[in-house]
Structure 1
Amino acid sequence: MSSLLLRLAGPLQSWGERAAFPAIRDTAPFPTRSGLIGLISAAEGRGRERDPQDYAALEFTVRVDRPGVLLSDYHTVGGGYPKNRTAATAGGGNKGAAVITHRHYLADAVFVVAVTGPDDDIERIGAALQSPYWAPHLGRRSCAPDEPFVLRTRVGDPEVELRTRVPLSAPHRGDRQPSRAGGAGTHRVDFLRERLPGEGNQNAVSLSAHDVPVSFASQGRIHGKRQLYRTTEDLPGALFAEPAELHRRLIDYALETTA
């Protein structure tokens, strides 16, 4: 088993976990398994009809550098068109007017994600993410990722990298501020894992997410449930990077030769 590291950051991202097209299109507060597998699948050029179970062996660990600010966008669909080109009704006709939706986003959020799986799978996925068939997006096509997006295509111990090596982004003014509770110069962040961590699990909170992709088919999307564990951990203060130096430190980290 090996891992790769992704940094999911940008002006906007949205990780929906409910109905495909409700009046309110939500976002989860962190990248969903369905969204991450969809991102990987698109990079590999796989159509929606392909079975996502090929990715069942992948495991995701999310470090929440910055949770972002919830933003709601008032959005209309189908306005200004003839009735026969507007949104369909449940009775099979056409609504004849614009459909109003409210779409939620995470503004200026930052997540670092470790993707772990069989060596051959990680090597193939890493190559695809560096030269994607379809451009990656953070939950929705309008949400492009910042660079560097792929931090490392192969790491031996993702826990060590996330806890001690990958630079941390500065929090927003309203976010949880750096804490000294765990010792001088530490920074407190949340982690989300798909299995209970071996160390520091006494504060783990169990969560349930309905985001396991069973089918991505346009007319038959199906998702299952999974269990997640959220922990809050103190990371070394040396990981913290001020905005002016963050990009340089991330590039330096991405270009380092893996031991």
Structure 2
Amino acid sequence: MSGLLLRLAGPLQSWGERSAFTPVRDTAPFPTRSALIGMFAAAEGIGRNEAIPSRYHDLRLTVRVDRPGVRLTDYHTAGGGFPKDRTPATSGGSNKGAAVITRRHYLADAVFVVAVTAPDETVERLADALTRPHWAPYLGRRACVPDEPFVLRPHVTDPEEELRTRVPLSRTPPRTPHADGQDTETITVEFLTEHPPSTGEPADHPAPADVIDVNDVPVSFAPHGRSHTGRRIHRTQVPVPRSLAGPPHTLLQRLIEYAHPEESA
């Protein structure tokens, strides 16, 4: 088993959780498994009407929340004032020539780093697809384009350990050394894992995890037959080295140096 690392950052993200073609298009507070697997399938050129391949079932996803972002709602209209044949249909299939109104929820200025752990052959295939995608990746909606670098590392031996110890953190350290309740050498960061946090040495032991039940495991992406099953995720606060953070003006350089260590050596 090995893995790859993705950085999901951009002006806007939206990870639909419950709504499907309804007037209110919500967002989960973190990237969903359904959205990430959809991103991988799109990169590999797998259409929505094709069966979800079993090769995605063995993926283990861990999310580090660098910045949770700010929630905002967009009052959105489509069509209106045009003949029926030029107006979008409603979710029920009707079309009266009126504007379709939705309220679309987004996360603004959020940053997540995702560790994808899988068998070596799966990691190699996904890394190749994500660096040369068949369909371009996006952060939940097509209008939400990811920042670069998107693929931080195409292959690492232990991606979860990389999140805890090496991947640059997209935030500044607290001004007061003890403001986050930790020692001066660490910063507390939220992690979302699909397995219970492992116990370690007392100094490295994460806080007790909150258990969350979500319904985001895709069974079908068919436009008129989408279905999902549930999973359980564990949300915990993990201390990471304070050195991973830094002032905003150095972030891009730190990310480039991490993503391309051979060029910065």
Is the CA contact (8 Å cut-off) linking 2:212 and 2:232 kept in structure 1? yes
Distance 1:167-1:93 versus aligned 2 partners, 3 A rule? closer
Is the CA contact (8 Å cut-off) linking 1:179 and 1:186 kept in structure 2? no
> Paired residue for 2:215?
210
Unaligned runs of 5+ in 2: 200-204
> Paired residue for 1:69?
70
> Is 1:33–2:33 an aligned residue pair?
yes
The counterpart of 1:223, out of the listed 228, 231, 241, is: 228
Deviation (angstroms), 1:114: 0.4
Q: Which amino acid aligns with 2:13?
A: Q
Q: Which amino acid aligns with 1:251?
A: I
Deviation (angstroms), 1:201: 5.5
> Paired residue for 1:95?
96
Structure 2 CA distance for aligned equivalents of residues 185 and 204 of structure 1 = 22
Is the CA contact (8 Å cut-off) linking 2:152 and 2:258 kept in structure 1? yes
Structure 2 CA distance for aligned equivalents of residues 256 and 90 of structure 1 = 49
Distance 1:64-1:140 versus aligned 2 partners, 3 A rule? same
Secondary structure at the counterpart of residue 251 of structure 1:
helix
Is the CA contact (8 Å cut-off) linking 1:137 and 1:144 kept in structure 2? yes
Is the CA contact (8 Å cut-off) linking 2:81 and 2:97 kept in structure 1? no
> Paired residue for 1:2?
2
Is the CA contact (8 Å cut-off) linking 1:69 and 1:108 kept in structure 2? yes
Secondary structure at the counterpart of residue 135 of structure 2:
coil
> Paired residue for 1:255?
260
> Is 1:167–2:144 an aligned residue pair?
no
Secondary structure at the counterpart of residue 116 of structure 1:
strand
Is the CA contact (8 Å cut-off) linking 1:63 and 1:189 kept in structure 2? yes
Unaligned runs of 5+ in 1: none
Deviation (angstroms), 1:159: 2.2
Instruction: Please say which of residues 236-245 and 197-206 is displaced more in the overlay.
Output: 197-206
Deviation (angstroms), 1:178: 7.9
> Paired residue for 1:49?
49
Deviation (angstroms), 1:180: 4.4
Q: Which amino acid aligns with 2:60?
A: E
Secondary structure at the counterpart of residue 27 of structure 1:
coil
Structure 1 CA distance for aligned equivalents of residues 66 and 118 of structure 2 = 23
Is the CA contact (8 Å cut-off) linking 2:78 and 2:101 kept in structure 1? yes
Structure 2 CA distance for aligned equivalents of residues 3 and 57 of structure 1 = 12
Is the CA contact (8 Å cut-off) linking 2:21 and 2:91 kept in structure 1? no
Instruction: Please say which of residues 46-55 and 112-121 is displaced more in the overlay.
Output: 46-55
> Is 1:58–2:59 an aligned residue pair?
yes
> Paired residue for 1:148?
149
Structure 2 CA distance for aligned equivalents of residues 69 and 102 of structure 1 = 16
TM-score by length of 1: 0.92
Distance 1:17-1:90 versus aligned 2 partners, 3 A rule? closer
> Paired residue for 1:78?
79
> Paired residue for 2:240?
235
Is the CA contact (8 Å cut-off) linking 2:210 and 2:236 kept in structure 1? yes
Deviation (angstroms), 1:158: 1.6
Deviation (angstroms), 1:80: 2.7
Superposition CA RMSD, Å: 2.0
Is the CA contact (8 Å cut-off) linking 1:178 and 1:187 kept in structure 2? no
Secondary structure at the counterpart of residue 106 of structure 1:
strand
TM-score by length of 2: 0.90
Structure 1 CA distance for aligned equivalents of residues 131 and 255 of structure 2 = 16
Q: Which amino acid aligns with 2:46?
A: R
Secondary structure at the counterpart of residue 52 of structure 1:
coil
Is the CA contact (8 Å cut-off) linking 1:179 and 1:188 kept in structure 2? no
Deviation (angstroms), 1:49: 1.3
Q: Which amino acid aligns with 2:184?
A: A
Deviation (angstroms), 1:182: 2.5
Deviation (angstroms), 1:83: 2.4
